[in-house]
Amino acid sequence: MQARIVVLAGDGIGPEVTNEAKKILDVVGKQFGHTFAYDHHLMGGCAIDQKGTSLPDETVAACLQADAVLLGAVGGPKWDIPTAVDRPERGLLAIRKALNLFANLRPVKLQKELIHASTIKESVLEGTDMLVIRELTGGAYFGPRQEAGDAGYEAYDTMLYTRPEIERVVRLAAEAARGRRKKLASVDKANVLASSRLWRRVTVEVMQEYPDVAVEHVLVDAMAMHLLRRPAAFDVIVAENLFGDILTDEASMLAGSMGMLPSASLGDLRNGHNLPLGLYEPIHGSAPDIAGQGIANPLATILSVAMLLRHSLGLEAEAEAVERAVDDVLAAGVRTGDIADPGSEVVGTTVMGDLVAARL
């Protein structure tokens, strides 16, 4: 296979972790007979500095022509100005919209070697293996809004959803659940919000197409509690944009470190392809406090590469090989500082990438 991958290294530790991800892709190419070509483009704070916008038009054009997009991280104190016309995070929202990426997939699987890294009791965590799917293009982040202005008396954001937006993400979640343990939890706030009542009604209708998948409807505040009390009870969770944003960060801490968790943002099937264009990124931020020190954990980005191989390129064996390589390195007791424990061998970003590449 020949594939073109756009790399958006971004800000902070983004360039460091994406370098390690490309290292792994290169080994996959050599081992399995594929060729991966990389196009590097700007997005985020670095794009604001060099191009005057967080998402240049040429970046969008390149992504639309790519087979997949690999993103590092964006943002940092330098651009954290509340009154700024453009901010790095705006580029992230804009690229999701431009590429029509409507679903964010975040697997949360507990590595037994890292169970100590979580603040949750081991007895609660045992058996945790879930996939959280967040809707990406609707809700309060994209609905009509009004800034407070200089007077500062009133501001609002509108949680707006349409039936087609709900249908497509629930259907994707149901398909994912059908391939896992056939359990789906749909999160809403239907006891209060009109948009959530539509969400629940459409979910009920869609799930009639999946009689083999057990579905439950969970209020978002209850789900926030259940994730800490009985996380192993859940298989696939689907939520609207704002609720999903919050719950996925909460779920990430079950695994002990954001440095371990990958994500995939998927769009519709492309013309002439049976696979979607996807944007793949670690769930962590740009971590400017450790940028340039060579100590960032690259494993979330490397595991994002596994998702890229699986979802946008259809290379399941290659994806599983990357995941096994990460598992083997962790089983050997090697850690970056964020997941270190007494007795483990602590290494930096580049060495961790080298070890995974060698194992692969």
pLDDT tens figures, 47-78: 999 999 999 999 999 999 999 999 999 999 99
Establish whether 109 is a catalytic residue.
no
Stretch 230-239: mean pLDDT, rounded? 97
Active-site annotation holder among 49, 221, 289, 341:
221
CA distance 211 to 206: 10
> Does the structure show a pLDDT above 70 at 249?
yes
Q: Which pLDDT does position 117 carry in this prediction?
A: 75
> Does the structure show a pLDDT above 70 at 271?
no
Active-site annotation holder among 141, 157, 327, 328:
141
Q: What is the pTM of this model?
A: 0.91
Establish whether 328 is a catalytic residue.
no
Instruction: Give the residue extent of every domain in the chain.
Output: 1-106+260-360, 119-255
Active-site annotation holder among 26, 129, 157, 245:
245
Q: List, for residues 129-172, the tens digit of each pLDDT value.
A: 999 999 998 999 989 999 888 888 999 999 999 999 999 999 99
Q: In the beta sheet, which residues pair with residue 37?
A: 4
Question: Measured on CA atoms in the order 191, 196, 202, 207, is the torsion positive or negative?
Answer: negative
- The closest of 124, 131, 83 to 105, measured between CA atoms, is 131
List, in order, residues 6 or more apart from 345 with CB less than 8 Å away: 333, 334, 335
Stretch 181-197: mean pLDDT, rounded? 98
Instruction: Give yes or no on whether 1-106+260-360 and 119-255 have one common fold.
Output: yes
Helices (H), strands (E): how many in the chain? 12, 14
Active-site annotation holder among 67, 188, 189, 280:
189
Q: List, for residues 327-357, the tens digit of each pLDDT value.
A: 999 999 999 998 888 888 999 999 999 999 9
Q: Return left, alpha or beta for 355; rule: phi > 0 is left, psi -120 to 50 is alpha, else beta.
A: alpha
CATH architecture of 1-106+260-360: 3-Layer(aba) Sandwich (3.40)
What fold does the segment set 119-255 form as a domain?
Isopropylmalate Dehydrogenase (3.40.718)
Establish whether 161 is a catalytic residue.
no
The DSSP secondary-structure symbol of 289 reads T
Establish whether 221 is a catalytic residue.
yes
Q: Which pLDDT does position 272 carry in this prediction?
A: 62
Establish whether 182 is a catalytic residue.
no
